[in-house]
């Protein structure tokens, strides 16, 4: 129903277009791979996404403790000018290529959520 133009959310967004979009890409890695994930993020992912004019910011966050699965869970949080520009940016060659090496270290299927900044 979220795509229904008559829904309360669609109606609200039509009257109040979100100024920004937040994308959260969650996954988990083995504790031994944390340093390599940080290195790849700093050297490959952040520069590629930061070069996209529509990507306002990007950061890597992680949980403080090892999860019950023995993995470290974390996320890449990026902020975008608009939903359309985010979709275009994450499909760009620069963004896709920057994630190749880091994706090899992921031990869980990524979960991606997109949030509209409304206030």
**pLDDT by residue (tens digit) across 62-119?**
999 999 999 999 999 999 999 999 999 999 999 999 999 999 999 999 999 999 888 7
Distance CA(22)–CA(113), nearest Å, equals 8
User: What domains appear along the chain, each with residue ranges and CATH number?
Assistant: 18-117 (3.30.70.100)
The pLDDT assigned to 71 comes to: 97
The pTM (predicted TM-score) of the whole model is: 0.84
The pLDDT assigned to 19 comes to: 78
The pLDDT assigned to 1 comes to: 42
**pLDDT by residue (tens digit) across 13-52?**
677 766 799 999 999 999 999 999 999 999 999 999 999 9
């Amino acid at each position: 129903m979220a795509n229904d133009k008559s829904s309360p959310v669609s109606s609200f967004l039509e009257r109040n277009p979100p100024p920004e979009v937040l994308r959260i890409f969650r996954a988990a890695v083995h504790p031994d791979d944390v340093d390599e994930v940080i290195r790849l993020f700093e050297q490959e992912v952040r520069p590629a996404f930061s070069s996209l004019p529509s990507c306002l910011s990007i950061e890597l966050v992680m949980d403080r403790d090892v999860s019950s699965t023995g993995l470290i869970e974390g996320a890449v949080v990026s902020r975008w000018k608009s939903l359309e520009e985010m979709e275009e940016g994450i499909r760009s060659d620069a963004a896709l290529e920057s994630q190749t090496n880091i994706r090899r270290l992921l031990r869980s299927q990524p979960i991606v959520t997109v949030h509209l900044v409304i206030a």
